[in-house]
Amino acid sequence: MDAVWRRRSIRKYLPDPIPEEVVIDLLRAAMSAPSAGNEQPWQFVVIRERRLLDEVPRFHAHAQMIREAPLAILVCGEAEKAKFEGAYWVQDCAAATENILIAATAKGLGSVWLGVYPVAERMEALRRLLGIPEEIVPFALIPIGRPAEEKPPADRYDPQRVHYDRW
Amino acid sequence: MDAVWRRRSIRKYLPDPIPEEVVIDLLRAAMSAPSAGNEQPWQFVVIRERRLLDEVPRFHAHAQMIREAPLAILVCGEAEKAKFEGAYWVQDCAAATENILIAATAKGLGSVWLGVYPVAERMEALRRLLGIPEEIVPFALIPIGRPAEEKPPADRYDPQRVHYDRW
């Protein structure tokens, strides 16, 4: 188990389709994330239609690579499920998103986290494109595919960011 | 590699100390998380002093288990590093936190994510306890130890949360 250390942002993909059972495993990983009060305030849209994927760069400047990807997963939040003080749903959805990236890495797939929330233009455009209801918040978009680029693990460990017992 | 699917919130620990190199590996996992613009807006406080750990339940009602834990890691955010619109540092720190939980699971350790941000009382109390500077935001606290309870994987996969191409 070293996918968590090996994960890199992969932005070039082969066109091969991703089998359904692999997609389910990625979503199972997402739903294995912890959440405040175990609220599981998340929903997912699996985007496979070429036309839909190709629309994304029109409103998301950092999403050009999605034109190559056979698939993307949009992680969405159910903000109204947040019974706790504070917007914990954001943290919960971020954990679910990270789990998808790690599970994809473990399965030899490439993926990249594209920020959506809280950029209103991206959220609105995705709502319109995919018919997402008003109470659901598009949170992060993850293009996924067999990698067409290789990246070594990035060791970002920085001892200056680590404090012991007191700052 | 199945730690991402096996991870559970573990709240009972054996008192055995966690070796330094294991702690470093957990922090290396945290710093392997992606971040918006690769800003890596995170800092970490490794808490091992018994007196400090035992103080936490005074101001965090869900932190009783920390009295048993040999160690906790406080993930902190550097909010001012957020050059992008929106508070992406929250998502980045959540991904780093999730990575610690997964890496701990992979190493046979138990851990649990205790929410700190954005609860002002918890943030302020941790700032005072650990001498954390004003510009640093205490984000999440993770007690860690050899597990004294066993939990099977929780399969939370829910097909009703998955939509294909359109809602």
Q: Give me the DSSP letters along A8-22.
A: -B---B--PPPPHHH
User: Which regions in chain B score pLDDT beneath 50?
Assistant: none
B162-164 and A42-47 beta bridge pairing: parallel
A131–B166 CB contact, under 8 Å: yes
Reported ipTM: the value is 0.96
Q: What structural domains does chain B harbor?
A: 11-147 (3.40.109.10)
Q: Please give the Cα distance from A61 to A81 (Å, whole number).
A: 30
Q: What percent of chain A has pLDDT over 90?
A: 92
- Residue B94 Cα, gap to closest chain A Cα (Å): 5
Q: Please give the Cα distance from B135 to B16 (Å, whole number).
A: 34
Query: Which chain B residues touch A42 with a CB distance below 8 Å?
Result: 161
Q: Please give the Cα distance from B79 to B102 (Å, whole number).
A: 24
Query: Which chain A residues touch B136 with a CB distance below 8 Å?
Result: 167
B91–A24 CB contact, under 8 Å: no
Q: At what angle do helices B88-106 and A88-106 cross, to 10 degrees?
A: 50
Residue B68, CA distances (Å) to B51, B130, B144 in order: 12, 19, 9
Encoded amino acid at B139, one letter: F
Model pTM score: 0.96
Q: Could you tell me the pLDDT band of residue A80, with boundaries at 50, 70 and 90?
A: confident
- Phi, psi (rounded to 5 degrees) for B32: -85, -5
B44–A161 CB contact, under 8 Å: yes
The predicted pLDDT at position B82 comes to 57
Q: Whose CA is closest to B102, among A8, A158, A3?
A: A3
Per residue in A111-167, pLDDT (tens digit) is 999 999 999 999 999 999 999 999 999 999 999 999 999 999 998 999 999 999 999
